Structures are given as structure tokens and as C-alpha cells.
Amino acid sequence: MGRPDDVRVLHPRRRVAGVLRVPGDKSISHRALIFAAMARGRCVIRGAATGADVRSTRAVLERLGVAIAGADDALVVEGNGLAGLDRDPRAAPAELDCGNSGTTARLLLGLLAGRRGRFRLVGDASLSRRPMRRVTAPLARLGARIGAGETLPLEVEGGRLRAGDIEAGVASAQVKSALVLAALQADGRSTIRVPGRTRDHTERMLAALGAPVRVEPDGDGERLVVDGALDALASFEIDVPGDPSSAAFLAALACLLPDSRLEIEGVSLNPTRLGFVGLLERMGARIGRVPADEAGPEPRGTLVVESAALAGIDVGPADVAAAIDEIPLLAVVASRAAGRTVIRGAAELRVKESDRIRATCALLEAFGVPVEEFDDGLAVTGGAPLRGASVDAAGDHRIAMCAAVLAALADRPSRLTGARWVSVSWPSFFDELERLAPRR
């Protein structure tokens, strides 16, 4: 049983129509805060994500002595360069609470590995189950001294790093970014090889700031060449575009409910973030892209989504890597598509905020969707009537929002325990659902 204030009744919806602006992109917001802390001088971040994960990054940086003023989505950061993050190595470790945010923890491991002092990273119960060796093992090849545990809490004994030739091991933007942050502080030139294409916000933003990071193709993956000995980044101002991973939920619903038309303004059109849009289009979705006429490292614009008949598709590892956060939602969409959708190569979902393969299968089963679970994915047969259900968010914001999409398509109201988890990425999600999608 959930707390009374954490249980929400979810209603069937008729259509989705209107104009939407989603919160600032979570990935970009994390990086903007961290890069501002590494800069020398005043940085301004407008439109930052307002969820709990980004607040965790802000709190950690403030704990390290970084002055950050302003509301969640309009921030002013006074950076003192990398040396401003140093602490007396004789002092007790600084306790840094990363909350539920894997991005906060993994990027901070890379950043703090090269700083003077001792730092202890902790997180909530969910984050403390997520794997960290994928970051700490390659960081050790740069000379990082980090506790030997597989998960948080981990203690970092920061210090001088050496350049190296590193294999990232997994196609993860978090791992890649942690290694880049460490390599920027190392002596000499480092090469980081990543076995696949991942989100490129770190590289785009650093390039715009003049940092010595170069990206080269490397077969099916990528190779980053990083020159070290950085002492500070240039100060900057940034307008954070809307988060396509948040936009995906109402976009999916607009695809599925008849007579729907949704315009999502100011959203990131970064190609590395539109994998889910491409998968929807393969299923038959009608989605238009209208780029904004403005310069900047991150492209933005409007997505125009209209209802359409969809068909099942096969989804492989490369597709999953390009849409990892939206794969549970894709399975939800597949429940209303004609035929069968098979998703493989998604084992990474088992080590997210929840075991997202298991949680997604449980969610679909509760609503009456035929689903088959694999070690690395699932298969969904579309077309069965959706029945209202009582479900649990499994401590996961994306599972909570997936439940709301399924409930909007069901035959009667549903009940969600764990509704509060949406605040991790989109605190006003349910308000926007009510505004744009009238109840049946």
C-alpha cells in the first residue's frame, strides 16, 4: 500500500490537443551545472530541468562550495575553476548525497577523481543498487583512486591523474562523460573509445566552450581525443531546450488517441535524442520537426505529433542505444499497434531506477497486454483491449508515466501507487496531462 498522498486515480482520455512546453532537458541541465562549477566567472543557466535529479546535482555542487543562486529554472553559478572544488586532503571526506540521480553520481566520480581532497558519494536505496564499476574501472586506468565497491557509497581520494588510452566498455553517455571529465584534468592526451553512439551533449557543450575535446568515428562507435591539464572552462550562458524524454510520453499518447494533434515547442532536436521519434515513425507515426531559427550548440525546435495507425516493428541493440530511456514507453505504444513488436538488446534496462524490463512487463500484464519477457528485452502483441488496473511505479519515474499513458487508453479508471516518482524528471506531468487530454 502506498501513502494516501502517493496514490493517484488515472482516467481514460479522449484525445490530446494543444501546445506543450516540457521541462528543460535533464541531461543538459546536469552538465550545464557541472561545467559552470568548472568555469571561472559567472555562468547563467536558463530553463534548467526542475526535477529532483537536477536538484541533486545542484545540492552536491553547493556542498562543494559552489555558489548557485536563483530558482530551479533560472540559475546563476559563480565558478572558481577546477581548483575551487579542492578540499584539504587531511579533512574528513565530504559527504555528497546524489539522491536518485545516476548522472550526478557517475559524472561526479570523473570530476572529483582529479581534485585534491576526499569525497564520499552516497545515494538513495535505488541509486545504491545501480552499477558503478563501469565508471570506476576505466577511471582507475587514469590513476583514479576510488573505493573498490560495485555500488554506492564510494569514497574518492582525488589527486593527480595520468593520460591514457581507455576503453569505455559500455555505450553509455554517463560513462563517456565521466571519463572526459577526468581526462581533461590528466597530464597529457587521452583517447576514450566508446562501443556505440551515445548522447553527445558533453562533447557539444565542451566544444562550444573551447575545451580540448575532439570526437572521431570509430567503426560502430566513437573515439574521443582529450587534452588534459585544464584549469578552468570559460564562463557561459545557456538556454536549456526542452527534454525530449519527457516530451515522449504525451507525444506517444497523441499518436495513439484519435483526433489528436500536439505541438511540443522549444524541445531539443539533437539527433542523438530523437531515437524514439524515429522508432515511432517506423511504426507509422506522423511527426513533424520544425527547427528553430537560432544558433547554439544544441538544436531545438517544435515537434508536431498527430494521431495515426501504428504497426509493430523489430527493435535491435542499436535502436535501444539511441532510445534507452524511452524503451518502456515504446512497449506501451506497441500494445496499441497492429501485430507484434520485439525488443532485444535492452539488458541495460535491468539496472536503471528499477528493473525496467520486469517493471514494464508487470505493467503491461496488469492492463491485459500479452507480453513475453526475455533476458534482454520483451515482445508485445498489440490490439488487445486495455482494462483499468491497479499498478505500482516500482520507484521509477518513467514507469509511473508509462502507467498514465496506459491508463489513458484503458476502458475504465486505474490506480497508481508511487505517483510521486514523476517529480524526479517532470513534477507537473499530471497537470499537463489534465490540461491537454480531456477525460472520457
* pLDDT per residue as tens digits for the range 334-372: 999 999 999 999 999 999 999 999 999 999 999 999 999
Q: What is the mean pLDDT of the chain?
A: 96
pLDDT, tens digit, 9 for 90 and up, residues 139-191: 999 999 999 999 999 999 999 999 999 999 999 999 999 999 999 999 999 99
- Residue 1's pLDDT is 40
Residues carrying CATH 3.65.10.10, the chain: 4-23+242-436, 26-226
Q: Phi, psi (5° rounding) for residue 31?
A: -70, -40
Does domain 4-23+242-436 match CATH 3.30.420.40?
Answer: no
pLDDT, tens digit, 9 for 90 and up, residues 249-268: 999 999 999 999 999 999 99
Query: Per-residue pLDDT for 307 more than 50?
Result: yes
Q: For the beta carbon of residue 318, count every other beta carbon within 10 angstroms.
A: 13
Distance in angstroms (rounded) separating the CA atoms of residues 97 and 110: 16
Query: Per-residue pLDDT for 104 more than 60?
Result: yes
Query: Per-residue pLDDT for 197 more than 60?
Result: yes
- Residue 73's pLDDT is 76
Q: What one-character DSSP code corresponds to residue 242?
A: B
Percent of the chain past pLDDT 90, that is, above it, reads 95
- Residue 193's pLDDT is 97
Query: Per-residue pLDDT for 411 more than 60?
Result: yes
Chain position carrying cell 524524454: 245
Evaluate whether 396 touches 370 at the Cβ level (below 8 Å): no
Report the CATH number of the 26-226 domain: 3.65.10.10
Grid coordinates belonging to 328: 518502456
Percent of the chain past pLDDT 70, that is, above it, reads 99
Amino acid identity for residue 77 in this structure: V
Distance in angstroms (rounded) separating the CA atoms of residues 385 and 369: 8
pTM of the model: 0.95
- Mean pLDDT over 23-37 rounds to 97
Distance in angstroms (rounded) separating the CA atoms of residues 333 and 311: 10
- Residue 4's pLDDT is 54
Distance in angstroms (rounded) separating the CA atoms of residues 302 and 319: 23
- Residue 72's pLDDT is 67
How many residues are recorded in the chain?
440
Distance in angstroms (rounded) separating the CA atoms of residues 217 and 224: 9
- Residue 3's pLDDT is 63
Q: Residue 385, CB half-sphere, CA atoms under 13 Å: how many?
A: 4
- Mean pLDDT over 232-254 rounds to 97
Under DSSP, is residue 322 helix (H, G, I), strand (E, B) or coil? helix
Catalytic one among 319, 325, 392, 396?
A: 325
Residue 325 bears catalytic tag:
yes
- Residue 5's pLDDT is 62
pLDDT, tens digit, 9 for 90 and up, residues 271-288: 999 999 999 999 999 999
Confidence of residue 71 (pLDDT cuts 50, 70, 90): confident
